[in-house]
Structure 1
Amino acid sequence: MNTSTLWWGLLFGSIGLGYFIYGRKQREIVPLVCGIALMAFPYFVSGAAWLIVVGVVLMVIPRFVRL
């Protein structure tokens, strides 16, 4: 782990917390699940490039998927 992966993980984890709180308060499943995934995936992804790609994909999913 290097500094960039730590910072990207912190950024995506913070955004994930926001998605999680929003999904829980609005009772919407997609932002809730994406928030949990955004908080958890930095532990399993190594490398800054993959971290950014997966994080951006998880951030845009609630924008296009409505259940």
Structure 2
Amino acid sequence: MGKLFKFIGLAAALALALFLAVIAGDYGPWYFAWLVGTTMIVLIAAAGAVMFDAQEANSNGKV
């Protein structure tokens, strides 16, 4: 039963992706690059914050 729900979920994701590709048309690559770029900026900022906290804790002797 779990495989059936997984298959239905993946089919729905595929249908949504195809629908969005048709709606986006020629602007699809631009939207894809925007989403990937925004995600990367957020992840890099989060990694920088983690590194800053680790360095701050290390300089205060907490580690």
For the criterion TM > 0.5, the same-fold answer is: no
TM-score by length of 2: 0.40
TM-score by length of 1: 0.38
Larger Rg: 2
**Higher RCO (C-alpha 8 Å, min separation 6):** 1
Q: Which has the higher helix share?
A: 2
